[in-house]
Amino acid sequence: MQNPVSRPPRRRRFLALVAAGLTTAALCTSPATASSQTTVALREVMFVGNNWEGTADAIKSTGDFARIGRVNVVPDKAQRLAEIYLNPAKLAFFLGIRHGVGEGHDQLVDDLYTTSDGKSLVVSRPSFADVVSIDLATGQLNWRFPVSGFRADHMAVSPDNTRVAVSASTSNTVHVLDMVTGAQVGSFRTGDKPHENVFTGDGRHLWNMAIGDVTTALDDPGLDWTKGDRRITVVDARTFAQVKVIDLRQRLDAFGRRDLSDAVRPVAFTPDESKLYFQVSFFHGFLEYDVAADKITRLKTLPKNPNTSEDRTTWINDSRHHGLSMNPAGDKLCVAGTMDDYATIVDRATLQERPVVPASKPYWATVSGDGKACVISESGADTVTAIDFATGAKLTTVAVGDHPQRVRLGHVTTDWTPPA
């Protein structure tokens, strides 16, 4: 994922071209050849992945965030289920996902991005262990890429919107695919259970965060060692050669917090990418990491909800807080307090939080198209809610599908209507 608050020159140029109603082909052609291309005007939207329902809702990216339409992201569901039920190994993992991380439900959409021409939606589908491209006009598959192992997870798109990286969480691998064709252009190994992926704004590096095993009941701090090899792997985004491995266990210990898990959940870079803010398993707050100094510099503890059980085994997939984003100015953070049922805006300089906004199991936090609001998915209420970065106040709530999780900015053609 490109850092949502750090828009490199190419990204800014893309948005300017969209505003002018030009095609994305103009990004790759000279003015002379671009003028001969048929122009296609694009509209910025947000896509919300409804994980348990297998749909994606398109909503406005600003203003009232009203729902525009819905896309079925499992049009091939019957075929996929037939394959799974005829394969004992696939069936075992499929049922394991349903009764483990799926909380009794199939996980049908984890992450999703649109292609630069606004014509396709690329989706990772955990229970089907694949990534697919869906034609937004017809609702049919353009291509399908089965990941290695038995589960697909978080994705990231390169700043030029040509490649998508997906975590194959049971094979400790990240696959990097061509957005248009679905062909694999590279891959690399990670720690146990790769999760979040982030492209740097210049497109040179790709960061992966491995969270280890989050499905066991061995959640006591004394049993943290059973969770596996959790680390950040940084690779060259062109060659996929390993550039650096960051063992946060060492950094947390040096910071004096041996009690904290080193399983990194959602992250947010500052606009200049000098600081990384990240959440970890079981913790109600976040930490600050200085990239150049290679050390943790600050920690923010956020309020606990008195109604939240302190029994760690009741927390969903080892999360206490899961969802983090930063406004374009880089001076405000938005935090989703998943198990504490709230979200809040935090001043980055002082780390002082605004009054909490009640929310039902918020699972993700992203930034609106105009950068003025944080948009969280309320997976417990089947809604998304926008919160003002400036005031910390709730702006609006919009109904979506069953168990919304990832929310991503994207584009559709201005004349787009959802497929039947």
Helix axes 88-99, 77-85, angle to 10 degrees: 110
**How far is the C-alpha of 221 from the C-alpha of 260, rounded, in Å?**
8
- List the CATH number of the domain containing 49: 2.130.10.10
In a domain, 338, yes or no: yes
Contact between 124 and 81 (Cβ < 8 Å): no
Measured torsion, CA atoms of residues 97, 99, 103, 104, in degrees rounded to the nearest 10 = 110
Sequence-distant (≥ 6) Cβ neighbours of residue 417 within 8 angstroms: 69
Give the integer Cα–Cα distance in Å for 207 and 78: 35
Residue 3 lies in a domain: no
In a structure prediction context, what are the per-residue pLDDT tens digits for the chain, which is 420 residues long? 334 333 344 444 344 433 333 333 333 333 333 333 457 899 999 999 999 999 999 999 999 999 999 999 999 999 999 999 999 999 999 999 998 888 899 999 999 999 999 999 999 999 999 999 999 999 999 999 999 999 999 999 999 999 999 999 999 999 999 999 999 999 999 999 999 999 999 999 999 999 999 988 888 888 888 999 999 999 999 999 999 999 999 999 999 999 999 999 999 999 999 999 999 999 999 999 999 999 999 999 999 999 999 999 999 899 999 999 999 999 999 999 999 999 999 999 999 999 999 999 999 999 999 999 999 999 999 999 999 999 999 999 999 999 999 999 999 999 999 998
**Which of 175, 172, 178 is CA-nearest to residue 187?**
175
Is 420 part of any domain?
no
Residue 282 lies in a domain: yes
In a domain, 357, yes or no: yes
- Please state the pTM of the whole predicted model: 0.89
Domain assignment of residue 418, yes or no? no
Range of the domain at 161: 9-413
**Domain presence at residue 59:** yes
Amino acid at 211: I
* 4 domain residue, yes or no: no
Contact 388, 375 (CB under 8 A): no
Q: How far apart are CA 257 and CA 70, in angstroms?
A: 44
Give the pLDDT confidence score for residue 22 in this predicted structure. 36
Task: Describe the strand order of the beta sheet including 324-326 as a list of residue ranges.
Answer: 324-326, 332-337, 342-347, 357-358
Number of independent structural domains in the chain: 1
